[in-house]
Amino acid sequence: MGDKYPILRPNQIISALSKKGFVFKSQKGSHAKYTNGKNTTIIPMHDTVARGTLRSILIQTGMELEEFIKLL
């Protein structure tokens, strides 16, 4: 996987996703669900989100890493 995926806080990821039309849908425990009507992803509301988890979030949202980085 390498270091190309940054370690981010959940609010940074949510901010970037909201620029692409993702909105909060629900939360269960420390995991929040965001959707844009077509794609849905789960954001863990921990101190930081691991690189592999961020990769999984981007796959679920259909976004490329470069596009996501520009939204940060």
**Domain membership flag for residue 24:** yes
Residue 41 per-residue DSSP state: E
Domain that holds residue 25: 10-71
Q: Is residue 43 part of a domain?
A: yes
Give the mean pLDDT per block of 10 residues along the chain (72 residues): 85 98 98 97 98 97 96 96
Please give the DSSP secondary-structure letter assigned to residue 20. T
User: Which CATH number fits the domain that encloses residue 25?
Assistant: 3.30.920.30
- The pLDDT assigned to 72 comes to 95
CA distance 68 to 28: 25
pTM of this prediction?
A: 0.93
